[in-house]
Amino acid sequence: HILKQTIREVYDIFSNMGYEIVEGPEIETTWHNFDALNTPEWHPARDMQDTFYIEDNIILRTHTSPVQVRTMLNNKPPLAIISPGRVYRKDEPDATHSPAFNQIEGLYIDKNVTVGHLKATLERFLTMYFGGARKVLLRPSYFPFVEPGYEVDVDCMFCGGKGCNVCKGTGWIEILGAGLVHPNVLKNVGYNPDEWQGFAFGTGVERIAMLKYGIADMRELYRNDMRFLGL
């Protein structure tokens, strides 16, 4: 299946970069999914309209970031992991959204980590996954668990950055979210932010698979059409 193939490709890329693959539970506590990740009570991601609640403090995870929290709680730094898995959000199914989809997140913790390390890692990953010498553009954005946070664009692999219908004439395609791990997150897992820093990033498996294979509708990945799945 294209999604399994994509996950294996990402595994191989990051394994060669020294990252360990770590998985975790799909049913999570709100502490691991939100509180430990510096997500305030008022954040819309915590609303019942956006998150599947099983009990008051038990949910279907909305991202694989709780795996990072559990890994840091149980391991001393430095560390480098990627955490793949199914996540759940109350999205209406359409060409680019689904209430259940696959995500891969990465976490790197060490001393003297900078945005330069993050950008170099993402450029290497995207170059190896999409081919060619990929360029990365970091646009400032807000995520509660990183500071600073970025939306990450890659130069359009369809037009070489010149502008086309796929990239809407900009030459860039939004590909993932990333940033330096927020000091509060480090404190919540018992790390000293004055000694340890890190970066984190995450992307949807369906998103990068659709871009690589030219798939316009996410729902095609789940229709079990063998002619399509044999791409």
Our count of domains for the chain comes to: 1
The beta-strand segments (E) located in 64-161 are 79-88, 100-110, 136-141, 146-155
Residue 73's pLDDT is 98
Domain assignment of residue 181, yes or no: no
Mean pLDDT, rounded, of the chain: 92
Domain assignment of residue 144, yes or no: no
Residue 57's pLDDT is 93
Residue 227's pLDDT is 62
Residue 42's pLDDT is 78
Percentage of residues of the chain with pLDDT beyond 90: 71
Residue 82's pLDDT is 97
Domain assignment of residue 166, yes or no: no
pTM recorded for the entire structure: 0.91
Interacting residues of 24 by C-beta distance below 8 A, sequence separation 6+: 61, 64, 66, 67, 70, 83, 85
| The Cα angle at residue 42 between residues 138 and 72, in degrees rounded to 5 | 60
Domain assignment of residue 147, yes or no: no
CATH number at residue 63: 3.30.930.10
Domain assignment of residue 168, yes or no: no
Domain assignment of residue 76, yes or no: yes
Domain assignment of residue 207, yes or no: yes
DSSP code for 75: S
Interacting residues of 56 by C-beta distance below 8 A, sequence separation 6+: 30
Domain that holds residue 218: 2-132+190-229
Mean pLDDT of 86-108: 92
Q: Poorest-confidence range of 80-94, 127-141, 152-166, 199-213?
A: 152-166
Interacting residues of 183 by C-beta distance below 8 A, sequence separation 6+: 147, 193
Mean pLDDT of 116-131: 95
196's tokens = 């340890």
| Edge-to-edge strand list for the sheet holding 53-55 | 27-29, 58-60, 53-55
Mean pLDDT of 88-110: 92
Domain assignment of residue 198, yes or no: yes
Residue 221's pLDDT is 84
Residue 92's pLDDT is 86
Higher pLDDT, 217 or 33: 33
Q: What one-character-per-residue DSSP string does 170-223 give?
A: SSEEEEEEEEEEPHHHHHHTT--TTT-EEEEEEEEHHHHHHHHHT---GGGGGS
On the question of pLDDT at 96 being above 90, the answer is no
Interacting residues of 134 by C-beta distance below 8 A, sequence separation 6+: 123, 126, 127, 154, 155, 157
pLDDT digits (tens, 9 = 90+) for 176-200: 999 999 999 999 999 999 999 999 9
